[in-house]
Amino acid sequence: MRKIFVLAFLLLGYITAFARQNGGVEMADAMRGSGKIYVVIAVIAIIFIGLAIYLFSIDRRLKKIEKEK
């Protein structure tokens, strides 16, 4: 579990390094100005959280099946 947090922390650091580039993106500026960027981020976060929950549930089921055999 700790490895996942370390991986997520490193991934976020990697992403923010690219986000700090000086050449602004017009679409991102427009979405940020209208507040739509937060909706996009929320949807992406919900998708990733859903995938993580799904994968952890599959992992628990597989461990349970392996213990039975």
What is the value of pTM for the model shown? 0.54
pLDDT at res. 58: 97
What would the pLDDT profile of 4-38 be if each residue is shown by its tens digit?
777 777 777 766 666 555 566 677 777 778 888 88
Q: Which amino acid is at 3?
A: K
- 31 Cβ partners below 8 Å, 6+ apart? 37, 40
pLDDT at res. 34: 83
User: Per-domain residue ranges for the chain?
Assistant: 35-69
CA 34 to chain centre: 23
